[in-house]
Amino acid sequence: MEDSWKAIKEAVFEKWDIIKDDVLGTWKEFKRDLTSKVEVEFFDKKTKEAVKKAVKEFEKEQHYKDDTNITIEQYFNISSILYKKILSILPEGEEAGKIYDLLPQGPGTNFIKSFITNPNGELSRKNVTVEKRSLFTGDQVISYSSDKANYTISITNEHFQKISNISNRQGVNTRKAFNFLLAKANENNFPSDINFTLEEVVNRGIYKSTRAAYKGIKSCIDNLMGLQIEGVRYEGKKEVRNVKSYIFVARDINFMNCTVKTMPGLLEALCGYFSVLPVWAYSLNSKPFIMTDYIYSIARQQRNYKKIAKDGYFTISFETLNRELGQPGPEETQRHAQFIINPLLDSIDEIEEARKDDIKITPIYSHDYKNAYDFLKGYLKVELEEAAHDYLTERAEARKKRTAKKKS
C-alpha cells in the first residue's frame, strides 16, 4: 500500500500549481483530485470505500470546509493522517490492492514483447510491416513500420542468440518485467531512474520470494538491456520525432531499493497510448500470461471498445491467439492436439480460474473439429468489466481528439 499511496500523493501534488503564500488549493480540490486518482489507479472496491470513509472522518474531525485553503505543510500532514486512517479502516490483515496496472504501450512496446517471447516467430500484425535481416557481422536488424511510426531494433548477433536460447519461462518473465517497468515508469512520469523494491516484484506474482526475484530480475533486465532502438514517429506524412538509443542502460539490483536507468524520452516515445493489465495476470503461467497481455493490449483498439459498447464483448480468432502464443501452424506439425489445441484451451482455462470479476472469456468453436485447421476457425469471446472498458474508451477518444487538434 505504501508505494501505491506515495504515487497517489505525488500525482495529486503535481496537479496543483503553487501560488502565493504556499497555498496549493482548497480542500474541495484536494478531495476531488484524490478520489479521481484512486479511480484512475484502479484500486479495488474495499480500498476505494476506505479512502472515501477516511476522507469523511478527517473532514469531520478537522472541521474542514470545501473552501478551506491547503498549504504545503497541511498537505503533508493530511496525507500522513489519511494514510493511517485508510489502513485502520481496511479489514484486519488485509492490504489495499490495485485491480489493474495502468500500462503505457504502443506498437514499439508490443513489438518488443512479441520478440522477447517469440524471437524466431512471425512478428507481423495487421496494417504493420516487419522486415528481418542479418548484417555481415551476424547482427540482426528488425524493422517495424506502419502508417504512423517506424521502429528499427538493432541486436548484436551475440544478444540475438542469447534471446533465442533462453527458456520459455525466462522469456515470459522478461515480458512480465518489461510490463512492470513500464507501469512503474508511468507512475513517476517516465523518470531517468525507475525505482522499485523486490517486494513489489514478489507482490505482483512474477517471483515467489525476494531471493528468487533478486536472481531472476537481473536476468530479465539484462535481456532488455541488449535492445537498441531507433524510432521515427509520424503525424500524417510529417516526421515529428527520431530517436536512437538503448532503452535500458544500467541496473542496480539489491535487497533494499532497485534502480533501472533508462532513456526516458525514448521509452515515452514508444508509448503512444495506455491500456490496463490486471495485477493477477503476473502470477499466470507462460502462455496464459501472454494471452491475457495480448487481450488487454488490443481491447483499447477502436473496433474492439466500440463493439463492447454496442454488444458487450469483442472477439479474437483462435488463429490470431495461436500465432501470439508462438505455437506452430497446423501445416507445421502433425501433432495438432499436443502443440496447438490443448495448449490454447488450457491457457483459457487457467485464465478463467485466476480471473476476478474483471474479465470473462468464452471459447466458441465446433466441438466436432477433425484437426487444428477446423479448430482454429473458432474464436474467443471477451467481456470486460465496466471500469476497464470505460477507461479504455475514454483514453482512446481523448487521444483521437488530440490527434485531430494537431492536424487542424
How far is Cα 294 from Cα 308, in angstroms, rounded to an integer? 17
Residue pointed to by grid coordinates 526516458: 264
Q: Are 290 and 172 in contact (CB under 8 A)?
A: yes
Q: Report how far apart, in Å, the C-alpha atoms of 39 and of each of 47, 378, 384 are.
A: 10, 36, 17
Residue bearing the bigger pLDDT, 24 or 61 = 61
pLDDT of residue 133: 67
User: Which residues on neighbouring strands pair with residue 361, listed in sequence order?
Assistant: 382
Beta strand 379-384 pairing with 359-364:
antiparallel
pLDDT above 90 covers a percentage of the chain that reads 34
In this predicted model, what pLDDT tens digit does every residue of 63-110 receive, in sequence order?
888 888 887 777 778 877 887 888 788 765 455 566 788 888 887 788
How far is Cα 298 from Cα 300, in angstroms, rounded to an integer? 5
Q: Are 300 and 395 in contact (CB under 8 A)?
A: yes
pLDDT of residue 219: 94
pLDDT confidence tier of residue 145, bands split at 50, 70 and 90? low
Query: Is the model's pLDDT at 163 over the cut of 60?
Result: yes
Q: Are 297 and 110 in contact (CB under 8 A)?
A: yes
Q: Cell triple for residue 172?
A: 515470459
What is the mean predicted confidence (pLDDT) over 306-326? 91
Tell me the pTM: 0.76
Q: Using alpha carbons, select from 153, 161, 164 the residue that is nearest to residue 111.
A: 153
Can you say whether the dihedral through the CA atoms of 133, 138, 140, 141 is positive or negative?
negative
Q: Cell triple for residue 155?
A: 541486436
Residue pointed to by grid coordinates 507445421: 332
Q: Cell triple for residue 66?
A: 470545501
What is the mean predicted confidence (pLDDT) over 195-217? 94
Average pLDDT of the chain, as a whole number: 81
Q: Report how far apart, in Å, the C-alpha atoms of 238 and of each of 307, 326, 328 are.
A: 32, 35, 39
Q: Are 70 and 25 in contact (CB under 8 A)?
A: yes
**Cβ burial, residue 46 (10 Å; 0-12/13-18/19+):** middle
How far is Cα 143 from Cα 132, in angstroms, rounded to an integer? 7
In this predicted model, what pLDDT tens digit does every residue of 95-107 receive, in sequence order?
556 678 888 888 7
pLDDT of residue 19: 43
